[in-house]
Structure 1
């Protein structure tokens, strides 16, 4: 096996020499815009995950730099995301108190295990396996995750203190019990922040509406009398610093306990990242190496976990902004991460002035962006079975723990796929003494029973299978055709394959040899 060259180990060497002072300046401006968008989002996602606010900034630094330099996409920007954050919270909160040191340690360990899973997927060139999570599963999960996040943030929005719950239904029931405890000043502040953000988004869509909404909410709390704001909670203060080194507790029992959630998070992160990368590549006419991108995602989480970064994945809003703003290379993402690091170092005190109700209002806006209603309508029009998969995933997301919901969605998607492939499209017609069956699909173990029933119901003296559209046949398919051919021969009838492709013909003749094969062939 040839040794990997420098560009394989350090893929950024393929494009880095082509940078110029002009492209560097352009990428710096794009990176600055991306950092402004990343700041409120990263803090919000940390709170969704049950982590202190600073951990959102940490997740937008080291993993982003690694994913940009080692990835294949020019425009994909990674970092904490809403869906990943809520899965982290529901996976780890039953094991430790959210926000505690034990909770943080478990989140970082889960991130490391998920990153290792992703990196091995890329190393073994299994990147295509993420295609087994269909778009309908991702759509249903994203819708459900948005609802779960909204329910989880309503206590902050209403100024209520209540314990976290494992499922959306339990959260909703618990919230109903605590509604009389609503702090009306917190609710009014959240509505004010929401109104400011929506107004800015409507009048000046190019401005960072989330960031300005948070600034407006923070200023209002500073200006109002203390007696009105006494019950309004603020984001916890932290010491400004770069992402600190975090030694991981690599205990086998804990790793095994986190493994199902880590695999689910890893798969969800890969599907999200590759979907965004492919969409961007189609617009920018860029070649995308899926396996390299998978390896880069895994490496970013493997290394990021040691630097206090929770699990990261592709961010659609930041990646789309990167493309639309005219990024020339992945350095735009690197500059964005470095600017976030600068803010984490010198701007930490500003975060402690952000009210939790204002942050909850911003998270509600983020969740609204996750709800792809147009995609749901299109899915309903195009495929009812895929719409059912989406609905089942959505229901599982609301009733079950989120990592379980991902697996339920994948199983539902695979069930309908196997059901569809087990009944390939077959057109049957008669021409005199001949009965013709045109098969459009593979003849494999799952479809054998269905095809055998059609052959046994045939009545022509010559039963002809038009196999021009059959690309694959397995041993079970070969054995079934031999069995049916012998049955027809015993009735002085014949089974003929017409226009079969050479690989299919060879597989059928292997069982008993070309001379003794009971199936006849015609061009």
Structure 2
């Protein structure tokens, strides 16, 4: 089989031969950081989805391996996420009791259906979806998601009961009601973790600062059990490797789950592609959206056969991957393998990790997502795009996270349509000729604006410099015909100068070349 064909089937062959001992060593350390972060997160997300805790670990092993090896991004790490866990629970809970065998079977079936939908979209090259997510939306979504994740960690930081409201703003308001109940000892451990991590990073940017901070906090809690013994620790869990499971196929269940599968599939893709694109822009690395779509689908097709629930891109784990200096997707592969190893032998070790130390580490990751330079540049260069970014940030706080992406995309499209509905028109007088140079397309959205500009002209010859008009639709053609006939009734003329051949052909199609009221010159 030719090498290009083999690489298209096995994309990891493009970058795996370039890995060396040094890069693999760095990726191993990065993967260790990612595994430590993934363990408590995965367990928490499984409980949010109504699944037993071990299913969170399963979702952080096989699907992550598949997505890293077949994906395009060097930094994107997939697995269970808060948003997808909430969507899973709301989609399947009307059909079965959360935590029951039937519920688990339906979750796995839904995951498979999502994977099939995503994989088919990848075959249809639906990765172009990411082109409709503007840079301002990606920046706003990144900042907003960092705020939402940070707000979600504040209860663990302050020793308060975890909140489970639908939006970040509601979580923040709920937190304010219990702020007086904060435990200063929990906050002290979190601040200690932050201080050690920041100091380690300052002394040596290459060291796993988050890991050092977590280990230091664990030792601190162990050293002073009298003062810090009441601080919450990571829950003990019985670990095992993901077991192979036969899925149950029932036509009525498939039909009932299909609408949710399409919605979850689109949500997972938009989220994952937004994260991958943001990381690619920040690192200046190439990114193949269609390959990433296929990889996401493949991970959710194979994952449920090993008890892995729905997987999507994770902001915190992907950001950690980039900030820690991952050299290749092997960092994600190592993270998945280490999660599997820890699932077997590390439950006792992780039972000593304080929850506030984990929360402090996540806050540091969120802080790394704030690209202040990009925000200032966007504000200086394009105010409308800056407003779109702010709207996206606001949407992530007041809406559910998945809805915020759609709101940002919609706002970006509105700004684009507003801009294209008023194309730039340069106007000047030359004797009896009044010239209008139109720089943009003549389509239905711009017709009213351009018609008003034409009607303001009182010259005998209305000349349109059409060299910059690349596209004209039926509404634009009809408008030009109408204005040409109006001018003709007044013994005046409408002339298009230097129009492209395809534009001329489209205008003449309406009534035929011999009856076209619009004149053309070169």
TM-score normalised by the chain length of structure 2: 0.86
Residues 1:468 and 1:17: Cα distance change in structure 2 (over 3 Å): closer
RMSD over aligned Cα atoms: 3.3
Shift of 1:395: 1.5
SS at match of 1:436: strand
Contact 2:121 2:293 (8 Å CA) reproduced: yes
Give how far 1:366 is off: 1.4
Q: Deviations over 1:428-466 (max 9, x none)?
A: 111111111111111111111111111111111111111
Structure 1 residues without counterparts, runs of 5 or longer: none
**Residue in 2 aligned with 1:42?**
38
User: In 2 relative to 1, CA 127–163 (structure 1 residues): closer, same or farther, beyond 3 Å?
Assistant: closer
Q: Tell me, in whole angstroms, the C-alpha distance in 2 between the residues paired with 1:370 and 1:340.
A: 24
| Residue aligning to 2:428 | 429
Displacement of 1:496 after TM fit? 0.9
Task: Name the counterpart of 2:393.
Answer: 394
SS of equivalent to 2:464: strand
**Cα distance change of structure 1 residues 181 and 136 upon mapping to structure 2, 3 Å threshold:** same
Give deviations 1:368-410, integer Å, cap 9, x for gaps.
Answer: 1122222222211111111111111222221222222222222
**Are residues 1:346 and 2:345 paired?**
yes
C-alpha separation between the residues in 1 aligned to 2:15 and 2:190? 47
Q: 1:11 aligns with which of 5, 8, 13?
A: 8
Residue 12 of structure 1, CA deviation: 5.2
SS in 1 for 2:442: coil
Deviations 1:285-308 (A, max 9, x none): x6x543223212222233234432
Counterpart contact for 1:91–1:401, Cα < 8 Å: no
Structure 1 stretch 57-66 or stretch 462-471: which is displaced more? 57-66
Query: Which secondary structure does the structure 2 equivalent of 1:234 belong to?
Result: coil
Change in 2 beyond 3 A, CA 1:442/1:289: same
Q: Please state whether the residue corresponding to 1:451 is helix, strand or coil.
A: helix
Q: Report the 3-state secondary structure (helix = DSSP H, G, I; strand = E; otherwise coil) of the residue aligned with 2:178.
A: helix
Task: Encode CA deviations 1:140-162: one digit per residue, 9 max, x unaligned.
Answer: 22222222222221111221225
Asked if structure 2 preserves the Cα contact closer than 8 Å seen for 1:270 and 1:297, the reply is no
Task: Render the CA deviation track for 1:27-65: whole Å, top value 9, x for unaligned.
Answer: 532431331231233235436746487666544432333
1:456 matched to 2:452: no
Pairwise CA distance, 1:471 = 0.9
Farther off after superposition, 173-182 or 206-215: 173-182
Structure 2 SS opposite 1:28 = helix
Kindly report which structure 2 residues correspond to 1:164-179, keeping only aligned pairs within 5 A, or say none.
164-179=164-179
Would you say the 8 A contact 2:469–2:500 is kept in 1?
A: yes
Query: In 2, Cα distance between the equivalents of 1:453 and 1:506?
Result: 24
What is residue 366 of structure 1 aligned with on the other side? 365
CA distance in 1, matches of 2:13, 2:58: 25
Alignment of 1:199 with 2:207, yes or no, is no
CA distance in 1, matches of 2:128, 2:400: 26
* Aligned twin of 2:276: 273
User: C-alpha distance in 2, partners of 1:425/1:492?
Assistant: 28
Cross-structure match for 1:127: 127
User: Which SS does the other structure have where 1:439 is aligned?
Assistant: strand
Distance in 2 of aligned mates of 1:351 and 1:486: 80
Q: Which of 464-473 and 135-144 deviates more?
A: 135-144
8 Å contact kept, 1:233–1:356: yes
Assess, with a 3 A threshold, how the Cα gap between structure 1 residues 440 and 356 changes in structure 2: closer, same or farther.
same
Among 67, 84, 89, the residue aligned to 1:88: 84
**Cα distance, 1:77 vs. partner?**
4.2
TM-score scaled by structure 1? Answer: 0.85
Q: How far is 1:104 from its partner?
A: 7.6
Structure 2: 5+ residue runs without aligned partners?
Answer: none
Contact 1:112–1:302 (CA<8 Å) still a contact in 2?
yes
Q: Identify if the C-alpha distance between structure 1 residues 248 and 458 changes in structure 2 by more than 3 Å, giving closer, same or farther.
A: farther
> Does 367-376 or 433-442 show the bigger shift?
367-376
Q: Aligned equivalents of 1:339 and 1:483: distance in 2? A: 70
Paired with 1:15 and 1:115, the residues of 2 have a C-alpha distance of 20
Length, aligned pairs only: 505
Give the C-alpha shift of residue 133 in structure 1.
1.6
1:263 aligns to 2:266 (yes or no):
yes
Query: Aligned in 2, Cα 1:172/1:340: closer, same or farther, shift over 3 Å?
Result: closer
